[in-house]
Structure 1
Amino acid sequence: MEINYENYSHLSFDLWLTLIKSNPEFKQKRNLLFKEFFEIEHGIEKVNEVVRYYDVLCNNINEKTGLNIDTYEIYYLILSALDVDFERNDTGSLLEFYKHTEELFLKYKPVLIYPDIQNLFKEITVQDKSISILSNTAFIKGQVLRKLLEHYELADYFKFQIYSDEVGFSKPNPAIFQLVFDEINKYKKINKKNVLHIGDNCIADYNGAIQFGFNAHLLKI
């Protein structure tokens, strides 16, 4: 990852498709679990299609509204599309299913896009610059993403981590970038132009950061 960061005091990183990418085995096994856990009568190909459709749709809605659709809401949309009776599944069963997906997620972990990213983080932080995470979430909540970053021994490099499911806002909503700015100013006083946000999504990361007043770097993986 090549970033010209010399003129910035703080670097804000997106997570998905910026630092990590999904393990393809996870999605396959998660969708199979979806079919078996909820006793879905459709074939796995249909389950894959519906899950993918609502994953993309809900992400697009979050970008348009700037809010955050809850994981359980996404589950209910998928179940409805797959003809599963709502009455058979209360939030308790959704919680149980989510716990199983977390276990799968940590067994079939996302991989680092840049295996040597720790070297970049060391290089940045030894210059008295700070870094943080700003990530939209959907099926996987911020709590388990924190565990993932601990697994890769990256968590200690971040001054803070902000996830959309924990704050109720999604990029490109200026409110979530304001949270980043507020957190930075708790430990050092800087202006918006001293912050560089790095991400792969033109709408959520690049445009969102620029419109808020940060600088931005769009990654092209």
Structure 2
Amino acid sequence: MSEESNDALDGEINIDNADNQVWLMKVPKFLADHWAGSQGSIGKIRIKSGDNISLTIQVPGTTTTEEFQLITTPQNIENQPLKIFSEDAEGALALEGNIGLKCDIKMNLDSPTYRELMKTRTTAYNTKTRVAKTIDDNQPFLPPRPINPKIQVSTAVYAKKKPTTDKKERKSEDQVIDSIFDAFHDNNHLDIKTLVKYTDQPQTWLKTVLNKVCIFNKRGPNKNTYELKPEYKNKDEKK
């Protein structure tokens, strides 16, 4: 919200919808971009039972639909109230309601849409942005003048070079999560070394993201390995 909007909080706010309960949904970037350019309906919510909620949308660029499961987290409105505000073109503010439910979209790792998304992201990430260009020069080529070979002995002490480290480019959290899900497509348990190699991410940043979607096994037959949290595993995953 802009500084002008913050100043407007001291004035009048439309509270006609103050008692409404709204949902806060976190969606992947490709879906947010699709919705931003959509007109009218953007999808259908189906509440089957309790926390079994799904979202059906039309796949961008096609006439087919795809269903996504929603991972829900109820919010305590009384103790930790979170509210939604809106602002119109004239800067007028309105209270749209209280957040009663937080939702995360669970991607189907086997869906053609997800596989195509991963392929597109990988291609874009690996595309070279620098192009070598030959510069025409009409100046005549002058070969270097030969020099007399001399044996020279240097007494300078050179500091031992430190081994160079492979600095990996840090991707966004959503991109790393997608790579993690893809890595676990054929394996239930992976160690940090394998995940670093697969995602091509700095280990410290990768561990931060892993803690959000994975469980680290400290003991047992799968000691020192990661596995996806139950809510992110495919229903048809082989145990």
* TM-score, length basis structure 1: 0.24
The structure where strand makes up a greater share of residues is 2
Greater fraction helix? 1
From the CA coordinates, give the structure whose radius of gyration is larger: 2
